[in-house]
Structure 1
Amino acid sequence: MQRKELQHFIAAATLTLVAGGLLLAVLYIALLFRVPTVGVSTEAENPSGRVWEVVGLPNSEIGSVAVEEVRGEPVNNETPVVVPVAKIVPVKILIPRLDIEAKIQAVGKTTAGNMGTSSGTNKYKEVAWYKGGASPGEIGNAVIAGHLDNGYGLSAVFKRLSDLEVGDSIFTVDSAGAVSQFRVIKKAFYGLDSAPLSDIFGYSNRANLNLITCDGAWISSERQYDKRLVVYTTLVE
């Protein structure tokens, strides 16, 4: 009789311990899920994505580059790193109608704020691209200038630029070998102080290439011509 009572006591005690253990486990799990996570926000800091804009405008009149947006979310709450995109660099221009195939030099602005010109031993055979603006083929006004002559009557690369007509084709080749084709849409002659710089260098929502050279009468005292010729072209897509 005593042995049976002992067995019942042990069984009851064991059941009580098991039930108590389950209760403690349930309470622990409930408390665990009630504890707030420290240092992590459950809401997006910027639902629309972070935006970085890179804009380069040399000044209010000369030069224009398209705005590039880089969108993305930082990983693991780290500070995002903006990786610059390499600019397309033109290296050659071809104008079949004028039998021109010339190298392109990248130039900036002079100390006077004007667009630079080609330089070096081949400056009269090569042309200058304004690197502060768009590259040929990009949205915006890309600008390439070439000499009319050497100042002493010897013809230079753009001597016959005025012979271009609406519809003529122009090609540029970039450093990666990609070719862009442009079509002449207009040509215009301007006085030294009357050129519409915003039309030539300013913003455009199209991919344009504008070619510039000297024209008109020679001013000996200033060693320059009194007019400028601009040939406006647009990308053939």
Structure 2
Amino acid sequence: MDIRRTGIIILVVAGLAAAIISAGRFHQPVSEPMPLGAATGVRVGYPTAVAPARPARPLTISIPAINVAARVEYVRTDRQGNMDVPADADNAAWFEPGYLPGATGNAVIAGHYDKADGSPAAFYRLSGLVPGDIAEVSDENGAVRKFQVVRVESFDSAEFPLDDVFGPADTINLNLITCSGTWNAAAKNYSRRTVVFTRLIPE
């Protein structure tokens, strides 16, 4: 899968970096709330709230509805400025310069549609997902987050909506991408991209 990423540097620097600086949504430490009663030394009888696990780099993704259980590689952009692809066609790939799954914004995980011999790759059945289906992502901190499919769309590869898929957002999203359409042997590329838009299910 080869996602045309014209203008990706502008997106990453101007879009994602602006979100990081203004909102601190990546790895910036979050101040811990003072435990109830700590200021007075008086012990109170209310249970202590457990803060959600901080987002970390993804390790695996599973999508039960289409029998996906894949390791997640980390990729950036290739020499042409496109999002790179996983080295192993049975794996998925997280776009490392972007958002972490579980952080506010559009995290992106992509996968191959098929292999060089034409056999199915990790995201071969991605277009078969429907709203309500679930994707689960485990991370380096041991957390497992569930994302629910909101919608599934197909885009011409030359008209890919970069900002909608990779850019800032007010919600915690995970967008899954693979190739679709027809194969262009000369360009060694598929004509379309399938994007599954998902949103975090709160714990």
Measure, in 1, the Cα distance between the counterparts of 2:29 and 2:60: 30
Structural RMSD (CA): 2.0
The runs of 5 or more residues in structure 1 that have no matched partner are 1-57, 73-85
Q: 1:71 to 1:178 in 2, by over 3 A?
A: closer
Q: 1:193 to 1:173 in 2, by over 3 A?
A: same
Q: Is the 8 A contact 1:151 1:223 kept in 2?
A: no
Q: Are 1:160 and 2:120 counterparts? A: no
Percent identity of paired positions between Structure 1 and Structure 2: 36
What TM-score results when the alignment is normalised by the length of structure 2? 0.76
* Cα deviation, residue 154, structure 1: 1.1
The one of 135, 138, 144 aligned to 1:173: 138
The structure whose RCO (Cα within 8 Å, separation 6+) is larger is 2
The one of 11, 17, 20 aligned to 1:61: 11
* Cα deviation, residue 87, structure 1: 6.9
Q: Are 1:116 and 2:84 counterparts? A: yes
User: Which stretch of structure 1 is more off in the superposition, 179-188 or 150-159?
Assistant: 150-159
Q: Which whole-Å deviations, capped at 9, do the CAs of 1:171-223 have from their partners, x for residues lacking one? A: 00001210111000011111111111000001111110000000001111111
The runs of 5 or more residues in structure 2 that have no matched partner are 1-7, 32-53
* Cα deviation, residue 71, structure 1: 9.0
* Cα deviation, residue 112, structure 1: 1.6
What amino acid does structure 1 have at the position aligned with 2:120?
S
Q: Are 1:205 and 2:131 counterparts? A: no
Measure, in 2, the Cα distance between the counterparts of 1:70 and 1:136: 17
What TM-score results when the alignment is normalised by the length of structure 1? 0.65
Q: Is the 8 A contact 1:124 1:146 kept in 2?
A: yes
Task: Select the structure that is richer in helix.
Answer: 1
* Cα deviation, residue 60, structure 1: 2.7
Runs of 4+ in 1 over 4 A off after TM superposition: 69-72
Q: Is the 8 A contact 1:206 1:234 kept in 2?
A: yes
The one of 61, 79, 95 aligned to 2:63: 95
What amino acid does structure 2 have at the position aligned with 1:149?
D
* Cα deviation, residue 110, structure 1: 1.1
